[in-house]
Amino acid sequence: MKLTDNVLRSFRVAKVFRENSDKINCFDFSSNGETIISSSDDDSLVLYDCQEGKPKRTLYSKKYGVDLIRYTHAANTVVYSSNKIDDTIRYLSLHDNKYIRYFPGHNKRVTSLSMSPVDDTFISGSLDKTIRLWDLRSPNCQGLMHLQGKPVCSFDPEGLIFAAGINSEMVKLYDLRSFDKGPFATFKLQYDRTCEWTGLKFSNDGKLILLSTNGGALRVLDAFKGAIIHSFGGYNNNKCVALEASFTPDSQFVMIGSEDGKIHVWNAESGMKVALLDGKHTGPITCLQFNPKFMTFASACSNMAFWLPTIDD
């Protein structure tokens, strides 16, 4: 089944889960699309089965809190940032609920965490104005970059380069093998005083970069030239919430939630808005991602919603 405008418009909430007492700050699909794991401000990690459409188990990180949760390539393991006590990144085995390793180094809140799509490398960006490069097999930082401002960062889909959005005004591209030589490309964007960049993602085809903000606008850039292709707005975000925006897996559409519980979808090529979906969320939709393998997506406030299309196009 192919994702089209009509199929997107037909999506409806199939299930709502109320496992959390506070907002869900992040979630991540497994690469096979079979499970999803969420982190919440109530210090819990909830694992869901996407095929059966039900929560499987709940774990807690009461002491350190949990944010920016990411699956690693090993089955049943995740990395996540702490939002209490310290700013250490933690590597957890879900199987026996034991920490495998800690990654200390940042001394302010971690705001970005991106797992390499090809190996055990991951990068983290922090309010301490650094990006750190890590390997899951070692607690020691493998690389450190001091920046001129607060970063958001992400690997490209091939794991060869990573992008850093710095100070909400420039995007720098680095070659992973020689990042210490500095960026091989820098794109300067017009600074927007009304909002800060809160997320950076590549499309799966590697051609586009999506910058999400805590304001009322998203930007889509050409990943090679740095030109702004589209600015998307028209969704509610008056309280300056960091709303997650995502590409669909086919790189054809961009979607974002809003503080009034609605989801806005645009065509990434034409820039046309193709759908406005009502998730009936009770709070701002802070998390939104499409399943990498199946025709479903998830959205979250303090509740988690699974969506399915209602037509076969």
Listed range (11-15, 71-75, 108-112, 223-227) with the worst mean pLDDT = 71-75
Q: How far apart are CA 6 and CA 119, in angstroms?
A: 37
Mean of pLDDT values over 182-189: 95
DSSP state at residue 254: E
Q: How far apart are CA 88 and CA 105, in angstroms?
A: 7
Is it the case that residue 312 has pLDDT exceeding 80? no
pLDDT digits (tens, 9 = 90+) for 92-150: 999 999 999 999 989 999 999 999 999 999 999 999 999 999 999 999 999 999 998 99
DSSP state at residue 87: -
Angle at Cα 71 formed by Cα 56 and Cα 45, nearest 5°?
A: 45
For residue 284, name the pLDDT band (cuts at 50, 70, 90). very high
CATH number of the domain residue 275 falls in = 2.130.10.10
Domain residue limits at 82? 5-309
Q: For the chain, what is the mean pLDDT? A: 93
Tell me phi and psi for residue 45, to 5 degrees. -115, 125
Listed range (71-85, 118-132, 194-208, 220-234) with the worst mean pLDDT = 71-85
Can you give the pLDDT at residue 238? Answer: 85
Is it the case that residue 313 has pLDDT exceeding 70? no
From residue 179, how far is each of 124, 176, 268, 303 by CA, in Å? 14, 5, 30, 39
Q: How many residues are recorded in the chain? A: 313
pLDDT digits (tens, 9 = 90+) for 39-89: 999 999 999 999 999 999 999 988 888 899 999 998 799 998 988 888 899
The helix (run of H) or strand (run of E) holding residue 6 is helix 5-9
Pairing of strands 54-60, 67-71: unpaired
Count: domains in the chain: 1
Is it the case that residue 212 has pLDDT exceeding 90? yes
